[in-house]
Amino acid sequence: MIRYSYLAFALYIKHAQLHPIGEAELISSIVTFFKWIGITAKDVGFKISSRKVLQEVLSLYSVPEASFAKACIIIDKMGKIPMEEIKKELKLVDLSNEAIEDLLQVLSMKSLTELEDSCTNTRIEDCYIVSGDDCVAVKSGWDEYRIAYGMQTQQLVIRRLTCISPTTAVIALGSEMSGGIQDVRAEEVAINSKSGVRIKTGVGRGGFVKDIYVKGFTMHTMKWPFWMMGNYGSHLDDNWDPNAIPVI
């Protein structure tokens, strides 16, 4: 039941391209999610709610309503029989190979950390930021999970900011950038920091950072306009790929 609810919410984040970065935003997203799939206060039973949640998720993978019960039974076998057997049984409910791989990938995730971080068509404007770390941190996920998931951060506009961060950066790209970061435009930013734009990455991240456009930075106390570091060695687990080299 918990697996089903998490799966549905995780896929909703993918579908709506949300970026839950705080408790208020996360709670708001959960509420929006349940409204979106039609769960209301009338659905007081966990059985009713969980069925509607899972049915909405499976519909994203083109599982017909008539096959819903069969798919639930198969999903419940995860961890009990080999994954190859799960795949064979899911094929019998008319899922494509791609849909099966995506569905099982999400079902196998352990936390929202594996899904979070990407955004598209986003603006950060007219802010005054004081931080002990990077003022604006642009990310797209960690290591092998995000490489496989493949959701980029893109079409990001940052403008009219005043940023104070004495030891780090005004805009940091990474180090969790395995889904890729592209088309970032930063304009009219007043800087009181160690660096203007900082690219952070490391072996195992994969992904890319490209098409970064900067204009009209006012630099007060700054050591480097651009700063790039490729020695970030933290990883979610031991499954990261040492051959996954970022492209900058």
Average per-residue pLDDT for the chain: 76
Stronger pLDDT, 61 or 239, i.e. the higher one: 239
- Domain end (from 88, 119, 150): 119
- Domain end (from 61, 92, 119): 119
Together in a domain, 196 and 165: yes
| The residue to which tokens 């993978």 are assigned | 61
pLDDT tens-digit map of 126-165? 999 998 889 999 999 888 878 887 789 999 999 999 999 8
Together in a domain, 43 and 157: no
Query: SS3 of 34, please?
Result: helix
In this predicted structure, what is the pLDDT of residue 202?
94
Stronger pLDDT, 215 or 233, i.e. the higher one: 215
User: 3 lies in a domain?
Assistant: no
Work out the number of other CB atoms within 10 angstroms of the CB of residue 220. 10
Q: Which amino acid does the sequence have at 193?
A: S
pLDDT tens-digit map of 72-126? 778 777 778 888 888 888 888 777 777 777 677 666 655 544 455 788 889 999 9
Tally of structural domains, the chain? 2
Pick from 116, 115, 8: which is nearest to 59 by CA? 8
Together in a domain, 104 and 150: no
Q: Reply yes or no on whether 133 is catalytic.
A: yes
Q: Which of 101-105, 170-174, 215-219, 226-230 has the lowest mean pLDDT?
A: 101-105
Together in a domain, 186 and 104: no
Which region holds residue 174: left if phi is over 0, alpha if psi is between -120 and 50, else beta? left
User: 1 lies in a domain?
Assistant: no
Q: Of 94, 126, 133, 237, which one is the catalytic site residue? A: 133
Give how far Cα 248 sits from Cα of 58, 90, 144, 208, Å.
Answer: 37, 39, 18, 6
In this predicted structure, what is the pLDDT of residue 45?
45
Q: Domain residues for 155?
A: 121-247
Together in a domain, 222 and 149: yes
Per the document, the length of the chain is 248
Together in a domain, 130 and 243: yes
Encoded tokens for 165: 């961060």
